[in-house]
Structure 1
Amino acid sequence: MSNSVRVAYLPLVDACILIAAKELGSAADQGIDLVLERETSWANVRDRIAIGHVDAAHMLAPMPIAANLRLTPFDTEVIAPMALGLGGNAITISQTLRQEAGFSEAVTAPGEAGATLRRAVANGGERKLRIGVVHRHSAHNLELRYWLAASGVDPDRDCEIVILPPPLMPDALAKDQVDAFCVGEPWNSVAVSTGAGAILTTKNLIWASSPEKVLGVHSEWARKNDGLLKALVRSLYGAAKWCSDPANADALQKMLAQPRYLGIDETVVAQALSGPAGYEPFDRAATFPWQSHAMWFYTQMVRWGMVEHTAPGLDLARRTYRPDLYRDALREFDAVVPSSSMKVEGALTSSVPVGAIGGELVLGPDGFFDGKVFDPDKVEDYLKSQARGA
C-alpha cells in the first residue's frame, strides 16, 4: 500500500500546519509521503477532492457539511477528523468606503463597526454594498451574514455578496470593484500593506475561538486508509504545536513566504501571523473538530436558505465532524484532548480550565459579539431566534 497522501491547499496562513508537517518532516516521521498541491480557489479544492484527484484538503469549515448535504456539484462524502486552527480571517474595507462612512483606521469592535455600516447603508440610497467572500459555503460568508444581520444590515437587501478567490481580494479592493471583503490572512495584511484597505473588524471579535478551516478527507479514502489517516492527524497535531510556539515565529514566517507556498513578502507574512486576525493553530483545542461547530454552521445554512432544516440533515451535519477519529489517532501520542464532542457555543466569557483526556485543557473565551449562545441541544429554539434578514 502506498504511503503517499495528496492534500490540496490554498495559499493562506492557516495552511501552515500542513506546510510545517511537510517542511519539518513530522509527516515523514509518521511514515507519510505528504504531497501538497497548491490550488487557486475553493471551488477547485472542492471539485478535486470530489473526483479523487486528492485524498484530503485544507478546507473551509462548512464545506464538508455542504458536500454531505448534497449542496455541491458532485455527490461526495467528506469527513472532517481535525480542525486546522481558530480565527484567522477579517473584514477589510476599501479606503473609499472608510472615508465615506467615517470609519476609524483602527480595528473596531463588531458592534460599533456594524452601527457605522448601518448608517452608511441608510445614507447610500439604492446602492448596495458589494462585499467579497471566498465561497458560499464558508465561515466567511456565514459569519459575515451573522454580523451584518445582528447589526441591522440585511445581507441580501442591502448588500451584494460576491465570490472571489482569496489572492484576488486585495486587487479587487484597490480598484473599488468591491467595497469590502472577508478573507483569511495574509490577504487582509496584503491589502493594508499596499494601502488598498483597512481592517475593520475580525472573525475573532465576531465569534471568539471559532473555527476557520478543517482537514477535509474523502470518506472512501478514509475507510480504506485508516492507518494513514491516523498518522496524518498525528503529524498535523505535532506541526500545529510547533506553529503555535512563539520561539518558531521567525522560522514559520520564512517557511510560509517561500514562492511555492504563499509567495509574498516575509514582512507581510509576519504581520499576518501577529496581527489582529488572531490565528491560533494549537491552543484552546484549536485542532479539535467540535460537533457543535458543525451544527452551528448548519443552522446558518438553514437561516440563509441554503438548505431546508430536517432532523436527518442536522444529524448528518453533526456526523461530518469526527472527534472520534481525532481521539483515536492521538490516543497514545501525549496529547490533551477534549472528553466531550459538543459544547454550548458562546457561553465562555473568559479562559476556563476544563477536564480532558490526557491532562487539563483551557478553553475560551468563545463568545458571539451580540451575546447570544448556541446550545446544540436546543437547535429548534435557536433556529426560531435567527431572523432571515436584519
Structure 2
Amino acid sequence: MKEKFIPITFILILALLILNLAGCKSTYETNTQAETKTIKIAYIPITHAVPLYIENELLKQNPQDIKLELVKFSSWPEVIEALNAGKVDGASILIQLAMKAREQGIDLKAVALGHRDGNVVVTSKDISSVAQLKGKTFAIPHRLSTHNILLYIMLKNNGLSYNDINVIELSPPEMPAALSEGRIYGYSVAEPFGAVSVANGKGKVLFDSQNLWGNSVCCALVLRNDFIQNNRSIAEKFVQEYVNAAHKADSKDRATLDILTKYLRTDSRVLELSLKWISYKNLKLEEKDYNDLSKYLVEMRLIENPPRYSDFVDNTLIDNAK
C-alpha cells in the first residue's frame, strides 16, 4: 500500500492559520481585560465612606466596565502619602487634609462629599454643659478636621477657648475606652466611634453637628486630577455609581447594614445608631458650604491660603450623574 504524503505547502498554510488564530485569541483577551478599568480608592474604615462600600459590593454583584479596588489605611497621613505618590487614584478623606494637600501642590479635585451631618460631640454622662469641660481633657482625631472646628465653635459659643481645656489628638478607636476610663471627658470624631460610647451607656451626645454648624462639610471623595483628565469616561462612570450607592446608603435598610458589617467590625447596635445620625443625600459640594469651611480654617489658623472653590472642587462629574 502506498503511503499518502501531505504536501509541505498545506502544512505551512495550516501552521500559519493556527498561529493567526492564536494571535487573535491573545488580542481578544487583552482587549477584554483592557475594557475593565480598576480604580484604586484609599479609605479608612468609618461610616463616612459608606457609599464606597456599597458601590464596591454593587459592582461585584453587577460587573461593569469599571472595577473598584478599596485600599484600606490606618491613618490619614498614610492616605495623603498614597495620593501624593500616585499609588491610588483617589480617596475618601477628611476634606481639610485634602485642602492642605492641594495647598502644598498635590493636584486633587473634590468630586463629591462622603456624607452629610453625622458628627457628634460625646461627653461623659456627668457632663451637662460646655462650662463643665473647663480644665478637662477633650480629644479630637486631627487638628485638620471638622471635629476640631466643631469643638472650636462649641467653645466659642459658650465663652471658652482652647486655653480653657486640654485638647489632645487621639486615635479614633481609642476614644471610647479613654472616655470610659476617665482619661478624657469628651471627644468628637468620625462615626461609628461616637456611637460606641452612647450605645454602651458610657457617654452621651452633648451636641450634634447640626446644632453647631449647619451644612458642615467633613469627608469628601477626592480624585487625582491627572486620573480625571486621562480617564474622563471612567471617572464619570465611577461617580455615577457612587451617587447610586449613596441613594442606597440613605435607605439604611437591612442590606445596607449587612454591607457595613463587612467593612466595619462593629456591633450592629452601634452601626444602627450611627446611621440614624448621618445622611447620604445631596453629596454635591456647594460653594457656600465650602467657603464657610475655608473661613473657619483661616480663622483658626489651620490653613493660611485655602484653595479656591473653582480650583479645588470639580462638580462636573456629579452634575452628569443621574
TM over 0.5: yes
For 2:68 and 2:234, how far apart are their aligned partners in 1? 11
Aligned-pair distance for 1:245?
A: 2.1
Task: Render the CA deviation track for 1:213-254: whole Å, top value 9, x for unaligned.
Answer: 1101122222222222111110100011111125xx111112
For 1:250, the equivalent position in structure 2 comes to: 254
Out of 179, 197, 206, the position equivalent to 1:200 is 206
Q: Secondary structure at the match of 1:81?
A: strand
For 1:268, the equivalent position in structure 2 comes to: 270
For 1:177 and 1:50, how far apart are their aligned partners in 2? 36
Task: Render the CA deviation track for 1:266-322: whole Å, top value 9, x for unaligned.
Answer: 222112212xxx21112xx2x1021222222211111111233xxxx4553552122
User: 1:43-58 residue pairs with structure 2 within 5 A?
Assistant: 43-58=77-92
For 1:301, the equivalent position in structure 2 comes to: 297
Q: Does 2:131 match 1:118?
A: yes
For 2:10, the equivalent position in structure 1 comes to: none
Aligned-pair distance for 1:120?
A: 4.8
- Residues matched between the structures, number: 288
For 1:144 and 1:27, how far apart are their aligned partners in 2? 41
For 2:143 and 2:220, how far apart are their aligned partners in 1? 16
Aligned-pair distance for 1:35?
A: 0.6
Q: Does 2:209 match 1:175?
A: no
TM-score (norm 2): 0.82
For 1:190, the aligned partner's letter is: V
- CA RMSD, 1 decimal: 2.1
Q: Secondary structure at the match of 1:25?
A: helix
For 1:26 and 1:296, how far apart are their aligned partners in 2? 38
Q: Secondary structure at the match of 2:68?
A: strand
User: 1:1-390 residue pairs with structure 2 within 5 A?
Assistant: 3-25=37-59, 29-70=63-104, 75-94=105-124, 98-99=125-126, 101=127, 103=128, 116-118=129-131, 120-121=133-134, 128-154=135-161, 156-246=162-252, 249-258=253-262, 261-274=263-276, 278-282=277-281, 285=282, 287-308=283-304, 313=305, 316-327=308-319, 329-330=320-321, 335=322
Task: Render the CA deviation track for 1:43-102: whole Å, top value 9, x for unaligned.
Answer: 2222221222211111112222111122xxxx41211011122011111112xxx42x4x
Given that 1:30 and 1:231 are in contact with CA atoms closer than 8 Å, whether structure 2 keeps it comes out as no
Q: Could you say which structure has the larger radius of gyration?
A: 2
- Cα separation, partners in 2 of 1:135 and 1:314, compared to 1, 3 Å: closer
For 2:108 and 2:307, how far apart are their aligned partners in 1? 14
Q: Percent identity?
A: 23
Stretches of 4+ aligned residues off by more than 6 angstroms: none
For 1:162 and 1:223, how far apart are their aligned partners in 2? 40
- Cα separation, partners in 2 of 1:26 and 1:84, compared to 1, 3 Å: farther
TM-score (norm 1): 0.69
Q: Secondary structure at the match of 2:308?
A: helix
Question: Which has the larger helix fraction?
Answer: 2
For 1:159, the aligned partner's letter is: I
Aligned-pair distance for 1:145?
A: 0.8
For 1:130 and 1:318, how far apart are their aligned partners in 2? 39
- Cα separation, partners in 2 of 1:314 and 1:256, compared to 1, 3 Å: closer
